[in-house]
Amino acid sequence: MAGKVKWVTDIEKSVLINNFEKREWIQVTENDDWNFYWMSIQTIRNVFSVDTGYRLSDDQMVNHFPNHYELTRKDLMIKNIKRYRKELEKEGSPLAEKDENGKYIYLDFVPVTFMLPADYNLFVEEFRKNPSSTWIMKPCGKAQGKGIFLINKLSQIKKWSKDTAYVISLYIDNPLLIGGKKFDLRLYVLVTTYRPLKCYMYKLGFCRFCTVKYTPSTSELDNMFVHLTNVAIQKHGDDYNHVHGGKWTVSNLRLYLESTRGKEVTSRLFDQIHWIVVQSLKAVAPVMNNDKHCFECYGYDIIIDDKLKPWLIEVNASPSLTSSTANDRILKYNLINDTLNIVTPNGDIPDCRWNRSPPREAMGNYQVLYDEEQAQSENAERDLRSRSGQPLGSKGIKGSAGVRPAVATWK
């Protein structure tokens, strides 16, 4: 395709700009004709707003879906997951199966959560069932650990302003510890279309560690260096290490778990993590505005408890592109590079009718996590074979992410 891509960004990060310049793309302003706009979530609101928004042309692409907040706002993510479970239950789907205690067997991957102030009475009822439990309160629309606090008494909720929407979740007080410290996983997931769903997992995620050893002691409830893994918080700690930034690669975590817990258990854990990601995307797919000019790279935050059960904590629409260490800079540069290789094949001017099935060599460190179109065609083929009495074979789905509960049901 003739001509160079004209790019704009309102996020002045070197990992972005270096990638655009490497491709010899041309920088323009937002008032010029542009092809590719890497924008903040504030700007995306304006682009798609009813009053101030404008119609994107076929050769323009942006890095957020218009209503990404259905997944990335803490309260809306929970609301959509709860709705998804209920719909599956109504359909009689085996995915919505519950155990004898009424807990979902396959869909219990977010901590018990309520919206405040709307669900205050429901929360109080739940709190009184387990009065010794700890809960974590988070403002719905904030990031980087801002405004978060822990409570273990109803009276402590007075810290919360009634003007602000909060989510309150049962705190995972038995996290898996390494070296006595709590950590979470930051995983990058690229979505190129929601209907049909097509998503990729980036292989180079990392763990973020707290700087202070974990204790469930109530005397440390206010010590965020014990409880919150956000780098924005931990970098202010006395024990923060500026060389490794309190980070560990996912591949190191995998090796550590394989050697301490065994390969099979570790593989099952990562299958469950992939499963959580796919189910969370399926939960929001029906309400997502699947605009053909959009793609999105999400930052998933997962916590693993001491029983090796993963929990989805939240999803970020603008995962930080700030580099806290040299390795961090390399990882984020490569993340943007691999993302651009998928969404702008060969660095050409975008075409919103692009083929969303890049060749394997263009994917870099991404791998297909779930391809709904492919899964549906394989289901159809499987049904056809079973009807005609042919052997089904063992053909699997790309990135099947831990098929459960039976081969064909979760696709």
| 272, part of any domain | yes
Distance CA 62, CA 293 (A): 6
pLDDT value of position 347: 86
pLDDT value of position 54: 75
pLDDT value of position 166: 86
| 385, part of any domain | no
| 32, part of any domain | yes
Domains: count for the chain: 3
Residues 167, 81 share a domain: no
pLDDT value of position 176: 94
pLDDT value of position 325: 78
Please give the residue range of the domain that contains residue 137. 112-171
Residues 76, 120 share a domain: no
Helices and strands (H, E) in the chain, number of each type: 11, 16
Distance CA 298, CA 319 (A): 7
pLDDT value of position 229: 57
pLDDT value of position 230: 55
Residues 218, 263 share a domain: yes
Domain C-terminal end among 146, 171, 196:
171
Distance CA 71, CA 77 (A): 5
- Please check whether residue 293 is in contact with residue 352, taking contact to mean a CB–CB distance below 8 angstroms: yes
- Please check whether residue 37 is in contact with residue 57, taking contact to mean a CB–CB distance below 8 angstroms: no
Residue 250: give its domain's CATH number.
3.30.470.20
pLDDT value of position 243: 44
List C-alpha distances in Å: 91 to 85, 87, 96, 129, 144: 10, 6, 9, 31, 38
pTM listed for this prediction:
0.88
Average pLDDT per 10 consecutive residues for the chain, totaling 411 residues: 86 94 96 94 86 84 96 94 96 95 93 91 92 86 67 79 80 90 93 96 91 68 57 49 67 95 96 97 97 95 96 92 83 95 90 79 94 86 66 44 40 42
Domain C-terminal end among 153, 171, 189:
171
Residues 255, 186 share a domain: yes
Radius of gyration of the chain (CA): 22
Residues 59, 130 share a domain: no
Residues 207, 81 share a domain: yes
Residues 222, 106 share a domain: yes
pLDDT value of position 1: 44
